[in-house]
Chains A and B, each alone.
Chain A
Amino acid sequence: MRIPNPRRIFLYILLIFFAFVFLLPLWTDITTSFKSIHDIIYTIPVEPPLSPTIEPLITAFNIMERPLLNSLTFTAVATLFSCLLGSINGYALTKIRFRGANTMFLLFSIGIFLPYQAVLVPLVLTMSRLGLYNSIGGLILTHTTYGITITTLLFRNFYGLIPDSLIMAAKTDGAGTWTIYRRIILPLSLLPFVVVAVLQFTSIWNDFLFGVTLARGSEAMPASVALANLKGTTEVNWNVQMAGALWYALPVLIIYLVLGKYLIRGYMAGAIKG
């Protein structure tokens, strides 16, 4: 039998220790979501429930149902719009190279890093004037606009890898700008569309600041705001809070499990969070 090297054993102990630390808050979220009030009193958070119940999950869902649907709606639509516009801009910046392209790129790059506080007051005024305050439409417009800056950058980087000779060949055949986009660029865009869409979906889904300033009423309230309210009002019922967090985390957890490698590519390509 081969005797394992003590250094390797220590390495694995470290790796497992960190895995424990990184998973601990999520583990206790899950255990607590399945506990009755009785089990919360008679077990400590890291222990599994004595008699698992889905009661807290049902209570939390009843409170969060409408906000979850709201979030799903504006996140899906704003993801679609910001990806489409970003793709068109990326194409324009790399393959048309119109005058002012560099200036546009610089203005969009600064937009990526913009602390949204710096536009929040006039944004609320604009949305009220447009009649989009407290509405799904307002959130779609906001998330699409501030999403365009990053999606443009990402598509620009992807399209930079498509050889110009391909475009030239199509041009000699008499294809116009729009035809080239539809016939050549779009069919080559499946991978960037998945990467950018996964990144946009999670970052719009996770937003809190726009939600809490633009849609605090129930008509359009996002799940992030509903969860923050839940924490504020039911300080005692930890099981319902944890169940609410679990519901709100669910779509992102599914994306992480199923499309994780695309999300990671998105993070690598220039994830700017918050």
Chain B
Amino acid sequence: MNLSFGRVFTRETMVNLLFVLPSLVLVGYFVYVLIGWNIVVSVSDWRGLTPSYNIVGFGQYITLFQDPVFLTSLTNNLILILLFVPSSLALGLFLAILLDSKIRGEGVFRNIYLLPFSLAFVITATLWAWMYNPDVGVINTLFQAIGLRFLKSGWITDPNIALACVVLAIVWQFSGYTMLIFSAGIKSIPESQIMAAEVDGAKGFNLYRRVVIPQLKTPALSAFVVLMIFALKVFDFIYVLTGGGPAGYSTYVLPLLMFRETFLSTHFAYGAAIATLLFLLVLVIVVPYLYLSSRREKD
């Protein structure tokens, strides 16, 4: 540090700082101060509409793991991740490979597959409520009409398969996105490599397995992170489609429980504790990812 005070705060430096100051203040307060504030709430005894900041320690977090509804929500969240993330990656990859087969109307098919991803979750949940309605909904009446009556089901009204129905619908919404990411990855592989492999006799599925898929690690990783984080904070879709039911808590997940506890039952400290836990789970995925991508950027 051999710079004098006067040189550090030159007019130029002050002007430069003014450029980013509004954003720094906004993000600093609304992201970082509020995260800290939320943690303080989570160790307080605040229940009811009047804020209370008596610090009572980490008792809320211990209560959480003794609460059957919390444990159900956590389990559902994990099941949802285990079903949704691999399915969306696999279907997206499959669609990307189909589109890569030098077909006519490639752009039209791509736009159709990606369309659901652009729509709001409130819209897609409303559409799927209509699809799954057991009495007059799209799927059951369609099965009836084409002679597949035995496939009719209670869908989201059946507690045994409601969570699977949620997963099916969000796979429908996200696989166009994973397709897009994989398509870009496939297009970036040099033509010469594909041709060399074809000369060696690799064809069709083998060509993809041996040459193309191994080179899709980077797009697969970024799609994985996006899907994981979405699956952890999934809220709008389930709130509108099932509201967490049927049979009480069959499709409850952590963000839904957080919302219910905080804004409907006014258990603010409890809701804040769930939110903090959710934030930690997201960090477990994001921090290694940011570390990896910053290293890649330097290379």
Whether A122 lies near B180 (C-beta < 8 A) is no
Whether B26 lies near A25 (C-beta < 8 A) is no
Query: Which residues of the partner chain A approach B232 to less than 8 Å between Cβ atoms?
Result: 115
Whether A228 lies near B226 (C-beta < 8 A) is no
Q: Across the two chains, which residue of chain B brings its CB closest to A213? A: B263
**Per-residue contact bits, chain A 143-186, to B (CB 8 Å; 1 contact, 0 not):** 01110110010000000000000000000000011100000000
**Per-residue contact bits, chain A 239-262, to B (CB 8 Å; 1 contact, 0 not):** 001101100110010011000100
Which of B27, B131, B180 gathers the greatest number of chain A CB atoms within 10 Å?
B27
Interface residues of A in 185-233 (CB under 8 A from B): 202, 205-209, 213, 224, 227-228, 231
**Cβ of A26 < 8 Å from any Cβ of B?**
yes
**Cβ of B31 < 8 Å from any Cβ of A?**
yes
Interface residues of B in 239-274 (CB under 8 A from A): 239-240, 255, 258-259, 262-263, 268, 271-272, 274
Query: Which residues of the partner chain A approach B272 to less than 8 Å between Cβ atoms?
Result: 121
**Cβ of B12 < 8 Å from any Cβ of A?**
yes
**Cβ of B196 < 8 Å from any Cβ of A?**
no
**Per-residue contact bits, chain B 171-198, to A (CB 8 Å; 1 contact, 0 not):** 0100011001100100000000000000
Q: Across the two chains, which residue of chain A brings its CB closest to B8? A: A99
Query: Which residues of the partner chain B approach A88 to less than 8 Å between Cβ atoms?
Result: 19-20, 23
Report A247 CB to chain B, min CB distance, Å: 10
Query: Which residues of the partner chain B approach A202 to less than 8 Å between Cβ atoms?
Result: 118
In-complex Cβ contact of A15 among B103, B142, B144, B259 (8 A): B103
Query: Which residues of the partner chain A approach B255 to less than 8 Å between Cβ atoms?
Result: 115, 117
Interface residues of A in 72-86 (CB under 8 A from B): 85
**Cβ of A32 < 8 Å from any Cβ of B?**
yes
Report B59 CB to chain A, min CB distance, Å: 18
Interface size (B, Cβ < 8 Å)? Answer: 90
In-complex Cβ contact of A272 among B13, B22, B126, B226 (8 A): B226
Interface size (A, Cβ < 8 Å)? Answer: 86
Whether B275 lies near A12 (C-beta < 8 A) is no
Query: Which residues of the partner chain B approach A248 to less than 8 Å between Cβ atoms?
Result: 120, 122-123
Whether B17 lies near A113 (C-beta < 8 A) is no
Interface residues of B in 1-36 (CB under 8 A from A): 12-13, 15-17, 19-20, 22-24, 26-28, 30-35
Listed in ascending order, the chain A residues whose CB lies under 8 Å from chain B are 11-12, 14-15, 18-19, 21-26, 28-29, 32, 40, 44-46, 85, 88-89, 91-92, 96, 98, 104, 106-111, 113-123, 125-126, 142, 144-146, 148-149, 152, 176-178, 202, 205-209, 213, 224, 227-228, 231, 238, 241-242, 244-245, 248-249, 252, 255-256, 260, 263-264, 267-268, 271-274
Sample of 20 further A-B pairs with CB below 8 A, known A15-B98, A267-B180: A15-B109, A22-B112, A22-B176, A23-B112, A89-B19, A98-B16, A113-B286, A115-B255, A117-B278, A118-B38, A119-B30, A122-B33, A145-B27, A145-B31, A152-B23, A177-B19, A238-B133, A245-B126, A256-B111, A273-B117
